[in-house]
Structure 1
């Protein structure tokens, strides 16, 4: 659980959530993605997606890899602004698509425990239009 001690510094939400976007969800090499997962996530993380719940580092890494494979070689996630957070909860807005094109937008909300992502909610915005 996050500490209630006001002397305990907050994690660097911006660094952590940007690293997750770049090193996990934009990483096409499975070995590098797994190494990033080990660094950025607790041992048994949970990810909540609109279509289901994914448990464990390997399963989350597999979802990220499958998403990149299905979306094509130019598909990439981009952070929008700076991640914000406090009391163990951080959020980062993002957009994704081929190159700079925008196919989907959303927000990652992460529970951070001892500097690592414990739970990640992937919140997709409704399609424009």
Structure 2
């Protein structure tokens, strides 16, 4: 696939929507629509494979940081089947506390793997 086939902003927004979804059933539907069944997620703190494990990771973030929201930071871009974007996480309506950058590999237009990096994490977060 070529870069023109992918809208990196839409992919990043769909990804952020999964992380912001607090309802497990709606989150499962978002994962089904946008992620391959055997998708992989890994960052310095956690990892998971498949929709159920990835949904559980998202749920754990909501449990640890209730009321926090993810937002895109800067511009998402793509190269072939790879997308890169940065994000923030913080209390809704307040300054962000955590920032990261994620690298996504697509397969048939769905997220196949995500490698996340934490760029800013306060002590104790």
Indicate the residue corresponding to 2:75 in structure 1. Answer: 82
Q: Which consecutive unaligned segments of at least 5 residues does structure 2 have?
A: none
| Separation in 2, partners of 1:37, 1:128 | 29
1:17 is aligned, of 3, 12, 29, to: 12
After superposing the two structures, state which structure 1 stretch, 9-18 or 87-96, moved more: 9-18
SS at match of 1:51: coil
| Separation in 2, partners of 1:63, 1:108 | 15
Q: Is the 8 A contact 1:10 1:86 kept in 2?
A: no
Indicate the residue corresponding to 2:108 in structure 1. Answer: 114
Q: Which consecutive unaligned segments of at least 5 residues does structure 1 have?
A: none
Question: Between Structure 1 and Structure 2, whose CA radius of gyration is higher?
Answer: 1
Give the structure-2-normalised TM-score: 0.88
Moved over 2 A (4+): 126-129
Give the structure-1-normalised TM-score: 0.86
Q: Please tell me the root mean square deviation across aligned C-alpha atoms, in Å.
A: 1.8
Which digits, 9 at most, give the CA deviation of each residue in 1:99-125, with x for residues without a partner? 232110011110011110000111101
Which digits, 9 at most, give the CA deviation of each residue in 1:27-79, with x for residues without a partner? 0000000000000101100001113431111100110011112101x200010
Query: Across the two proteins, how many residue pairs are aligned to each other?
Result: 122
